[in-house]
Amino acid sequence: MARKPVEGTSPDDEPPRYVRVGNALLAVAEDVIYVGIAVLLAVAAGILLVSAAAGLTDIGGDQSASEVVLASLDTLLLVFIVVELLFAVRVIVGKREVVAEPFLIVGIIASIKEIIVLSVEAADYVGDDDKFFHAIIEVGVLGLVVLVLAVAAIMLRAKEQKPAEGDDHAGASARRDEDALKGRSR
């Protein structure tokens, strides 16, 4: 049975059936893999959260309270990273495109996590000039990484807010969003 071409297209514009079936199978495979990744990330986040809570019960044991709290904070920041990755997977599945912002946030959180750990460790290196100097340099570099990633996230968000050329509706929508942020209503 021959299909009628859609108005404005020719029968040659539509890919062959095997290409459409192949694309559909690949899309299902992608979804299955992404769901598997999401499940593993959710399980990992749950395990890390329980581990952080269990770590707080060690206060009063062999380690000082600050060491226990630092270890729990380190684990909780890792939970934030895993949850942000989970969000990124959810966005990828929902929008069918890779969005950069969640990965920038993961980079910011990971850098802050290392800054916190290094700052505490640097206090132990006060007598050892070489180790202390290297720790302070690393904290400075990580601080710069946080700044660069934050600027990239801000620029990315500003680019997403900018209306497309020739899109009058997008411009009106952007103005309404701006007015809402300023507390005005139309």
pLDDT for res 185: 47
Rounded Cα–Cα distance for residues 79 and 45 (Å): 5
What secondary structure does DSSP assign to 88-119, as a single string?
HHHHHHHHSS--SHHHHHHHHHHHHHHHHHHH
Statement: residue 58 has pLDDT above 80:
no
Least confidently predicted of 48-57, 68-77, 116-125, 161-170: 161-170
Q: How far is CA 100 from CA 88, 105, 125, 153, in A?
A: 8, 9, 37, 8
111 class by beta-carbon count within 10 Å (0-12 exposed, 13-18 middle, 19+ buried): buried
**Cα distance from N-terminal residue to C-terminal residue, the chain:** 55
Count CB-CB contacts under 10 A for residue 55.
19
- According to the model, what pLDDT value does residue 147 have? 96
Can you tell me the distance from the alpha carbon of 161 to that of 151, in angstroms, rounded to the nearest whole number?
Answer: 15
Instruction: Write down the pTM of the prediction.
Output: 0.64
Look at 55-59, 110-114, 168-172 and tell me which has the smallest mean pLDDT. 168-172
For residue 177, pLDDT over 70 is answered with: no
Tell me what pLDDT residue 98 has: 79
